[in-house]
Chain A
Amino acid sequence: EPEVTQTPSHQVTQMGQEVILRCVPISNHLYFYWYRQILGQKVEFLVSFYNNEISEKSEIFDDQFSVERPDGSNFTLKIRSTKLEDSAMYFCASSEQETQYFGPGTRLLVL
């Protein structure tokens, strides 16, 4: 069964450093998403992406964040200058139509 994959599974970085989180969505899906989940809290929407552009973004998704689909398979989330409060689990999701399937997540720890 096809699934969303994410790399790395864990990332530790120093405050102020840039990180790139990578996702490979399910191959025939056209809609891509990033969500994050701070430890013990609910899942929060960051951004959705369709047809090579951002469809919608949340207030969390400020100028420090960017997304890209550099080739036909990868979908990336870049955080330019990480802050302590960026520590969270980051989930990528993809959908063909309504149903969003989540990847296993990248646990980001900012020190």
Chain B
Amino acid sequence: QQPVQSPQAVILREGEDAVINCSSSKALYSVHWYRQKHGEAPVFLMILLKGGEQKGHEKISASFNEKKQQSSLYLTASQLSYSGTYFCGTIGFTGTASKLTFGTGTRLQVTL
């Protein structure tokens, strides 16, 4: 089942903050966050496995709620290099723990 991402797109000025959300109707085994620049491969940012978990550093961090149905990616004091499309990829409890199901992505543009 495909996770739902919001917002679809966001434009920021350099130094502003953004939050990207990823929601599932069922509890998840894990959430994986990737950033993809145009014409390039998705680059792994972080993985969250535990309910209530928060990880990352002060600039880019993520959380996973207690029910393991929602994750948020926090981009603080954005830089031009943050521009790209952010995808959450989820792994559910059914089937094998190998198939990443990606959300539709959030296009982030950071301007001067």
Inter-subunit contact B42/A44 (CB<8 Å): no
Inter-subunit contact B41/A56 (CB<8 Å): no
Which range holds the interface residue count of chain A? 20 to 34
Contact with B along A28-69 (1 / 0, CB 8 A): 000101010000011111001010000110100000000000
Contact with A along B46-61 (1 / 0, CB 8 A): 0101000000000000
Query: With A42-B105, A56-B98 given, is the CB distance from A98 to B41 under 8 Å?
Result: no
Q: Which residues of B contact A35 (CB under 8 A)?
A: 100
Q: Which residues of B contact A100 (CB under 8 A)?
A: 32, 44, 89, 100
How many inter-chain residue pairs (CB < 8 Å) link A and B? 56
Inter-subunit contact B96/A56 (CB<8 Å): yes
Which range holds the interface residue count of chain B? 20 to 34
Inter-subunit contact A33/B98 (CB<8 Å): yes
Minimal beta-carbon separation of A6 from chain B (angstroms): 9
Q: Which residues of B contact A101 (CB under 8 A)?
A: 44
The stretch that binds B, out of A12-20, A79-87, A102-110, is A102-110
Minimal beta-carbon separation of B7 from chain A (angstroms): 15
Chain A interface residues (CB < 8 Å from chain B): 31, 33, 35, 41-45, 48, 50, 55-56, 58, 91, 98-105
* Sampled A-B contacts (19; CB under 8 Å): A31-B98, A33-B98, A35-B100, A42-B102, A43-B87, A43-B102, A45-B99, A45-B101, A48-B98, A55-B98, A91-B42, A98-B47, A98-B49, A99-B44, A101-B44, A102-B41, A102-B43, A104-B40, A105-B40
A-B residue pairs, 3 tightest by C-beta: A48-B98, A102-B41, A43-B102
